[in-house]
Amino acid sequence: MKKKIFSWWYLHSGRSKKSEEMLRLMSIGKGPSIADAVTNEKETPEKLVGVSEDGLIKVKRVGAYSVKE
């Protein structure tokens, strides 16, 4: 129960930059596949979509910003 309350607080407090689905995927060890999918998306940016090497994770670019010093 305490864990559930903490998870809810973490998701809604603004501390987390990840959605619930992201946290679930990371908890089952799919973090590297997500990073893979992003790398593949960056190699073909015109498609806006990237798929991981294992083919299990598919990500879509929603937006991007650059901050230059």
Partner 1 sequence: MSLAVPTLTLIFLLAPGVSYRYAYYSGAFSQQYFKTSFSDLLIAAILPAVIIHAILFYCVVQHYYEIDSKTIGVLLSGITEPANVKAAFSNLYYNAKEIYIYLAGASILAAAAGAAIRSLVRGLRIDRIWEPLRFQNRWHYLFTGEILDFPGQLGSPEEVDFVYVDALVDCDEGSVLYSGILADHILSKDGGLDRIYLSYTKRRYLKENDKEGMKYYSMPGNLFVIPYSKILNLHITYYSFEDANSELVSKVDKGS
Verify binding: residue 3, partner 1, rule CB under 8 A: no
Query: CA-to-CA distance for 20 and 17, rounded, in angstroms?
Result: 10
Report, in Å, the least distance between residue 63 CB and partner 1.
Answer: 4
Of 5, 8, 13, 46, the one binding partner 1 (CB under 8 A) is: 13
Report, in Å, the least distance between residue 2 CB and partner 1.
Answer: 20
For partner 1, the binding residues in 27-66 under the rule CB under 8 A are 28, 30-32, 34-35, 38-39, 41, 49, 56-66
Question: For residue 34, which amino acid is it?
Answer: I
H/E stretch holding 33: helix 31-43
Contact 36, 52 (CB under 8 A): yes
